[in-house]
Amino acid sequence: MIVWLNGAFSAGKTSAARELTDLIPGSTLYDPEVTGGTLQYLLPQKRLNEVGDFQDLPIWRRLVVDTAAAMLADLGGTLVVPMTLLRQDYRDEIFGGLAARRIPVRHVLLSPDETILRQRIAGREEFEDDPGHSARIRQWALDHIAPYRSALSWLEKDAHMVDTSALTPRQTAEHVAEVVRTGAAGACEIVQTPEPTGETLAAGVLLFDEQDRVLLVDPTYKPGWEFPGGVVEPGEAPARAGIREVAEEIGIELDRVPALLVVDWEPPVPPAFGGLRLLFDGGTLDSASDRLLLPCSELRAARFVSESEAEELLPPVRFNRLRWALRARERSTVLNLEAGVPVG
């Protein structure tokens, strides 16, 4: 389990996190700031100069997930993570990556009154021997009050809020420990496929635009891009499952049963069970991009891509499946044309 302490800069997250590790048995502190600081030694300066905040680097967001998962695998227990997350898409990406690894996240927002927050910022002296650096950190924190205020519209719905205006770090930690223990701060409601107990049957649907590019989606609940679709429910016809999943995921109601293109067997690779994977031809969508609906809890993004672009986005096993499907679709089109059957 992860207890993620969110909040504005200078809200007291790190101080409370240190106290919290004393109150939750078997817990460990992981500060993603350390991961951000490490990137200055790993990435070219040119790449670092392209962003104003290391959170904007995709590699940081991936490393946060991978590091947290690796620490829990090695240490067990609970990971306490003090980190400001003000962009909802970054929250979705990180928490979704953790959900894909079956790691529940308790999201807690430390929210002091803004007057108290400004007083705390004014009193920060990070580097006594470098007043200029300390002043820059204070200004950084002040500059992020407005973005924090804007982010409250989604943070208040997503996280368990704790008003820390009158609380010491120890009192804050005691409150957080209590809401985690009682379940008042429940696991984040991130959509994820239930953990399988045996081989699964999954149906994906290929949808195309007028340029014959294929639609890919980026789920929050597992790593890597994917095709619209999902696990076939007991007693459900696979093609109908594909139709249902397309409607649920992107708001497109297919007007015909899609044709089967590929049947593939995915071998079990623990902890995954593998199973049959089917790909169907959903046809061409006219002006589809204007009709797509992306439930923010399930999908981060959707885009039409060429085959070469798909190779960069899809894991190898999924890209091979796509290649086979595209070749099968081309052969079907040729056969239909030779037989004089209208295609469309």
DSSP H or E run through 2: strand 2-7
pTM, full prediction: 0.58
pLDDT at 12: 84
d(CA 261, CA 117): 58
d(CA 54, CA 51): 7
Q: Residue 179 contacts by C-beta under 8 Å, 6 or more apart in sequence?
A: 108, 160, 162, 185
Question: Can you tell me which residue has the tokens 């984040």?
Answer: 188
* DSSP state letters, 15-59: HHHHHHHHHSTTEEE--HHHHHHHHHHHS-HHHHTT-SSGGG-HH
pLDDT at 299: 74
d(CA 81, CA 45): 27
pLDDT at 307: 94
pLDDT at 119: 80
Check residue 270 and report its DSSP letter: T
pLDDT at 72: 93
Q: Which of 84-93, 190-199, 203-212, 213-222 has the highest mean pLDDT?
A: 203-212
Distance between first and last Cα of the chain = 50
Q: Kindly state the average pLDDT of the residues 290-303.
A: 66
pLDDT in tens, 18-41: 999 999 999 999 999 999 999 989
- Which two three-digit tokens encode residue 334? 């040729």
pLDDT at 302: 87
pLDDT band, residue 196 (cuts 50/70/90): low
d(CA 190, CA 94): 11
pLDDT at 78 over 90: yes
Strands 2-7 and 214-219: unpaired
pLDDT at 298 over 70: no
pLDDT at 338 over 90: no
Higher pLDDT, 188 or 133: 188
pLDDT at 125: 67
pLDDT band, residue 296 (cuts 50/70/90): very low
Q: What percent of the chain has pLDDT over 70?
A: 85
pLDDT in tens, 137-184: 778 777 778 888 888 888 988 899 999 988 999 999 999 999 999 989
Number of Cβ within a 10 Å radius of residue 66 = 14
Higher pLDDT, 343 or 211: 211
* DSSP state letters, 162-202: E--TT--HHHHHHHHHHHHHHTSSPBP----PPPPSS---E
CA within 13 Å, CB half, 102: 7
* DSSP state letters, 223-266: SS-B-SEEEPPTT--HHHHHHHHHHHHH----SSPPEEEEEEEE
